[in-house]
Structure 1
Amino acid sequence: MVRTVIFDMDGVIVDTEPVHRYAYFRHFEELGIGVSDDEYAQFTGRSTKNVYQHLKDQHGLPHEVADMVLMKREFFNRAFDEKPDLELLDGVRCLIEDLHQHGLELILASSASHSTIDRVMRRFALGPYFTHLLSGEDFPRSKPDPAIFAHAAALAAAPAAECVVIEDSANGVTAAKTAGLYCIGYNSEHSPLQDLSHADLVVAHFNELTAERIAALEMSG
């Protein structure tokens, strides 16, 4: 019996990827570095800090990682606030409300920064549904490292064997499985080039999921 659902955010609850992509590539241009689409796809599910540490090492950038994170965040925040068509992904609000109404605990475990998580929670009034909001900023390594999901499961009211993760990235699914958690892979059109084959269940739309179906999942860990 599932009693806690741990959500990723980007690509699962809201599609901020175009905003992130715009912010990243504007900043890459400013830094004078080239990043291919294939390389960028590998950043999915990783924290901004982790991405810039990788780029600093690979390109020998002279800037401090923390400074680059702040510069990219300025691009992101401006674009986020000015983007009128930013909406929750189709069906996810209904699923969140359904889970909440049926008494399942909801936890957010996202690689996004605290400021981005807070912006999304405020803009879409989602805060009351979640008992904990975890940011990848607070962990030294990003997904596929399992630390953020292991911590989410430790905070959950239910034991880990009764927790489920919903993820859209290969890195996220790997992190969930390494943490010993059941994982639902969401095959999001907004997160291309992601191998979700190691998830326990893969769905293409949130209308395939209900509180009743999730609560009754056969857990294998």
Structure 2
Amino acid sequence: MIQTVIFDMDGVIVDTEPVHRYAYFQQFSELKIDVTEEMFTSFTGNSTRNTFQKVKDIFQLDHDVEDLIQRKRTIFNDAFDKKEDLELLTGVEILIKDFHHKGMQLILASSASKVTIERVFNRFKLHDYFTHIVSGEDFPKSKPHPAIFEHAASLSIAPKENCIVIEDSTNGIKAAKAAGIFCIAYNSFHSKDQDLSAADVVINHFNEIDYEKVARYRLDINK
């Protein structure tokens, strides 16, 4: 029986991707580098640090990675605070409250920085529902490396076999499966050009799952 749900954040709980995208491309413009859509899509699921390390290597930039991170963070924070229409994704708040009310443990495992996670959790008052928050900035390798999900599962009240991950990106799904964790892929309108085929289950809306359905996923998959 599933006892712990590990949530990704961007594209699953809230769509901050347009704000991140704006911040990245604003900075790319400042750096006078041409990052293609294909290249940018390949960074999905990476931490900001690993994204800029790749950009630095590809374009042979002299800038310090920490300086690049701080500049992007400044642009993002300014844009985030001004974006009044930022909302949780449709149906996810109901799902989170349903899980929590019925005793499911919830853990966040996001590639976002701790600062960004805190801004989102404070804005939408999510702290009461999650027992642990895991940020990708604490790991040297980003998704699809499984480290972040392996660590999240180690914080679970149950064995890894009784955990699931909810993800929306190719790299996130690969990371969950590499960690040996059952993965639900959310086919988010906001996460384009992502390959969800490696997931165990694909949903198009959060009303397709609830506590009862998720709790028995491991049993169903073993039939």
Name the TM-score, length of structure 2 as normaliser: 0.98
Counterpart residue identity of residue 187, structure 1 = N
2:204 pairs with 1:204: yes
**What residue in structure 2 maps to residue 50 of structure 1?**
50
CA deviation profile, 1:8-52 (whole Å, cap 9, x unmatched): 000000000000000000000011101111111111111000000
Partners in 2 of 1:206 and 1:192 — Cα distance?
18
- Structure 1 segments (4+ residues) deviating >6 Å: none
Question: Does the alignment pair 1:176 with 2:176?
Answer: yes
**Farther off after superposition, 126-135 or 210-219:** 210-219
Describe how 1:104-183 pairs up with structure 2 within 5 A: 104-183=104-183
Q: Deviations over 1:80-108 (max 9, x none)?
A: 00000000000000000000011000000
Instruction: Find the counterpart in structure 1 of residue 193 from structure 2.
Output: 193
How do 1:17-32 residues align onto structure 2 when only pairs under 5 Å count? 17-32=17-32
Sequence identity percentage: 60
> What does the per-residue CA deviation read over 1:163-206, in whole Å, with 9 as the maximum and x for residues that have no partner?
00000000000000000000000000100000000100000000
How far off is 1:218 after superposition?
Answer: 2.6
Q: Match for residue 34 of structure 1?
A: 34
Unaligned runs of 5+ in 2: none
Q: Deviations over 1:108-153 (max 9, x none)?
A: 0000000000000000000110000000000000000000000000
Does the 8 A contact of 2:162 with 2:218 survive in 1?
no
User: Do the aligned residues in 1 keep the contact of 2:2 with 2:162 (CA within 8 Å)?
Assistant: yes
Unmatched tracts of structure 1, length 5 or more: none
Query: Whole-Å Cα distance in 1 between the matches of residues 41 and 62 of structure 2?
Result: 24
Of 37-46 and 77-86, more deviation after overlay is shown by 37-46
**What SS does structure 2 have at the residue aligned with 1:218?**
helix
Give RMSD over aligned pairs.
0.9
2:165 match: secondary structure: strand
Please give the alpha-carbon distance, in whole angstroms, between the structure 1 residues aligned to 2:135 and 2:67: 19
Is 2:45–2:142's contact at 8 Å kept on the other side of the alignment? yes
For the residue of structure 1 that corresponds to 2:134, the secondary structure is strand
TM-score, normalization: structure 1? Answer: 0.99
